[in-house]
Every structure is written in structure tokens, then in C-alpha cells.
Structure 1
């Protein structure tokens, strides 16, 4: 059986500890900001994006990973006799998955996985793949199981402001102003059957009250939660809110591991600062 390389788009938002522990390789998206080009989470961070927006009202453009980039990235491993499991940002949100499939058709031994998800929703698939590699499953078996498992992953996040969705053309200025004035904080859910994003509950109040309500509502929606892992992902938020989220999770469900990670620039630039989300699995 061939050895397997585990890889993912950088938008899976795994932290450095998990990347090192599970030997995950990742390829960054390209960020275009203020006439400069950066590699996501390599030489630019969400904090820098928010600073530029605050000073100049400029949002970045993100560039999907193209065919040539994937080809150059994968080919040395294929030439060395490896097979590759690569988890992509959901195809409903980017052309990267389709570009990855084009390369996989040419370089045999690559298994692109459409996560039907984003951020740490796809990270949960990466961790599942890592465990299956350790168990000795073949790349084909891992690919089949990941594709079957996608609908067991639940990813959502709550926004502190609609300013960035408005700036990116995803909501009207009237909606943005109204939500901010009324202190409405909407939840965005990821549809794990398609990867599209849908509007969920709209909470009203301070961020600390909303975070508690949001997490309790999400975890109460399922009675078959897998208690192995849960992710808290944020775009840059005070540590007090992270601790509040951790405590709320543990008061509701006794997860073995709570992972905290910062969302990539590709994700954060659409959400804005103080965004916080959770991702978990059901059985």
C-alpha cells in the first residue's frame, strides 16, 4: 500500500499545534490588498486586513488556488510514489475544488475532497482523515468515508457586525445599519449538504449574551453529538469571549477536546472582527 500525504486548503483553519501533530500539509489562498499580493496566513493576518479597512475602507480580494498552483504543489509527492488526500474549501464557495479535480485527473493518486464546508468545518474532516491514515486505511477508503461523513459536520458562526458583508456586497447598507443600531447579531450556518451559507437565528444584545445563547442553541439542536472534538474559531476577538465560549460549551456538553483557532484571512475578510463560530460532529 502506498504512503499517504494528508493535505488541505489553508482555509481549514487548523492551528499550528494540530498541523504539526497530525502532519498536515496546506496550500494558502492568495490575498490581494491595497495593490499588494500576500499568501493567506503566511505573510498577512486578519488583523492587518481589519486595520487597512479601518484606515482606507479597502477590502481584499481573494484568489482561488488555480490549476498550475495545485499541479506544482502535488507533483513532487506523486513523483515520489505517494497518494494524496486533499480536503478543499467547499465547492459552493470557490473554484478551488474543481481546479484540484482537474489536476487529479492528470496526476493519478490524488483524492480531492469537497468538504461542503469552510474553516474548521473542513478541519474536522482533516482530523478524521488523519486518524484513518494512522489506522492503515487506503486513500480510496479514506476518500469514500470522508465523502459519506460530510453531513455529520455542523459549522456556524455569529457576526458582531454586518459592515463587512455589506462592504463585500453580500447585504444592503440599510440592513447593515439597521442590524448595528438594533444590536442584532446574525448567525450564519453552513449547509453541509451543499456547502452554501444560510442565514440562521438573529440575536439581539451584547456580544457576551449572544455568544452564550448561540452556543447553547446550537448544541441543544442535536442529541447525538460526537464528544471527541469541538472547534472554536474566531476572526480576532478578546480572550474573555473565548473563555466564555469554552465555559458555555463545557456547561452544556463534556467534549474531550476544545480546539481554539483563528480563521484565515480568506474567511475573516467576509465576516469582520469579533466573529466567533463553532464546529462539531454528530454520530
Structure 2
């Protein structure tokens, strides 16, 4: 039976054209205007609006009804499906998918416990398993077993957006800006956590590199690199400084790079760089 992989726009992968892949858009609201993420709001336009706006946008989850509509299509096509959602600790989207799937035994729901490219590599892994001919139940089981191995690490250019979103005290954010503090963050148990702080961009890139080395990258599994904002410049600088991680395994031009969308971009702001990979066992 054909398998469809369903996710939400909280994920980010470079090529979303696979016909077996369906992504439900999350809502992004600036002021009085609500956009469907990835449908009528591109990542570039999102960052333009984010920089121009005095207030952070609000994000809204995919609804059970939206999932039901997709599940009806799955059933009508004689397919089965695996749903991989944005972390349940960050959004109610997982609960929406679970609620909708109650009447669809052919649909299997997995809490990705991650976001953006961390969620993205789980989707790529699921598509790989589908290529191998596995059924939806087995794909869901293997993806769920791999969730704990996913490492999402990011170097932020500024504390401003964490401060504006209330995720750190204003006083900490202000002092951090004055001292040019570059925070390194990650996802742990489905939530964004601070892993370290460095003064200046070079020290920040070094600290990010140390975190990557701490876990080790399993290059037999999907890997993604991401950036926020309108330029890959800082990510390219990181790759140049830390070429030893990749050069014996993959050519730099073959590394998959993608723009990080609104779900995480809202909270970290532009000019952040991120890596997602499966840690070595």
C-alpha cells in the first residue's frame, strides 16, 4: 500500500516537491493579517516583515479539521500515512493530528519533538524508509525510535528576539546585546534550551563546533544545515571555519542547505545558523 508522509510547515527541507509529501501550513499573524506559512508567505517575505515589525508575529497550529481533510484524501487514494509533527512542547499541532487520526487506523502519528530542520531530517528519514518499501506502521515505529537521536543546534546572532518573545528577561537581553553575546541553543525533550553563550561571532562559531563534536554526526543518516534571514553568509563562514567535519565525508557543495521558516525564525530572528543531524550511537 502506498505511504504518504504528512508534516506541517514547522519543518524545513530544501526540496519539498516529493509527491508523497504533504505539509499543512501553520498560521502566521502580523497585526491584523494572517498568512498561511509557505503558501502565501515565503521565508524571505517573512523575514522582511519580522525586521519591519515592532511586535513579534503570532503563530497558530494546524487544526484537527485540516488534518481530517488530508486523511480523507489518504483514504480515498487507498494509501496509508505517517504524520510527523512539530514538537508537542512547542505547538498543539501534534494533539490536533492525534485527535484527527482517531477514526483513521491507516494513519500513524509521531511527535517529532523537534522543529525546523530537526523535524526536517525526520521527514527525510521517513521518505527514505518509504523508498525501502516499508509500511506506515513500521516507518512510524522506526522514526519514533530515532527521535531521541536528533540533534538540532543553532548559533543566534542576537538575543533581541528571545527578549521580545519573553523567553529571557529583558535585563539579560539588554546586557547580552551590549556585550555582543552570541547564544548557542538546542532542542532538548522537545523544547528550546540555552546550551552556552559566547562573546562575538568567532567564539560563537567555535562553541557551536564544540557542541557538534560532542555529539558526533552520523553521516549515514540525513543531515541538514539552515540559516535564518535573507543571507547564507554566516553559515558559509561557519562551514569554512570547520571544514574538517565534512571534507572527508561530503563535498561542501553537496551539503543540503535550507532557509529556516517562520516557526523558529520568529523566536531567534535573522542571521542565525543551525545544524540538524542524528547523533552517532
TM-score under structure 2 normalisation?
0.91
CA distance in 2 between partners of 1:132 and 1:56 (Å): 42
CA distance in 1 between partners of 2:129 and 2:182 (Å): 38
Deviation for aligned residue 1:129: 0.8
Partner residue, 1:213? 206
Partner residue, 1:6? 5
* Alignment size in residue pairs: 275
Partner residue, 2:128? 131
Question: In structure 2, do the counterparts of structure 1 residues 9 and 53 end up closer, same or farther at CA, with 3 Å as the change threshold?
Answer: closer
CA distance in 2 between partners of 1:260 and 1:59 (Å): 26
Partner residue, 1:171? 168
1:189-268 correspondence to structure 2 within 5 Å: 189-191=186-188, 194-205=189-200, 207=201, 209-223=202-216, 225-228=217-220, 229-253=222-246, 254-256=248-250, 257-268=254-265
1:101-116 correspondence to structure 2 within 5 Å: 101-116=98-113
Partner residue, 2:17? 20
Is 1:94 aligned with 2:91? yes
Deviation for aligned residue 1:52: 3.6
CA distance in 1 between partners of 2:183 and 2:109 (Å): 32
Deviation for aligned residue 1:245: 2.5
CA distance in 2 between partners of 1:106 and 1:180 (Å): 50
CA distance in 1 between partners of 2:136 and 2:260 (Å): 28
Of residues 132, 139, 156, the one that matches 1:159 is 156
What secondary structure does 1:273 align onto?
A: coil
Deviation for aligned residue 1:79: 2.1
Is 1:82 aligned with 2:79? yes
Deviation for aligned residue 1:238: 3.2
CA distance in 1 between partners of 2:178 and 2:190 (Å): 31
TM-score under structure 1 normalisation?
0.90
Deviations 1:76-126 (A, max 9, x none): 111221101111001111110011011111122111110111111111111
CA distance in 1 between partners of 2:24 and 2:249 (Å): 30
Extract structure 1 runs of 4+ deviating beyond 4 A: none
Unpaired runs of 5+ residues, structure 2, are none
CA distance in 1 between partners of 2:19 and 2:185 (Å): 29
Deviation for aligned residue 1:53: 4.4
Deviation for aligned residue 1:46: 4.3
Deviation for aligned residue 1:230: 2.5
Q: Is the 8 A contact 2:163 2:170 kept in 1?
A: yes
Unpaired runs of 5+ residues, structure 1, are none
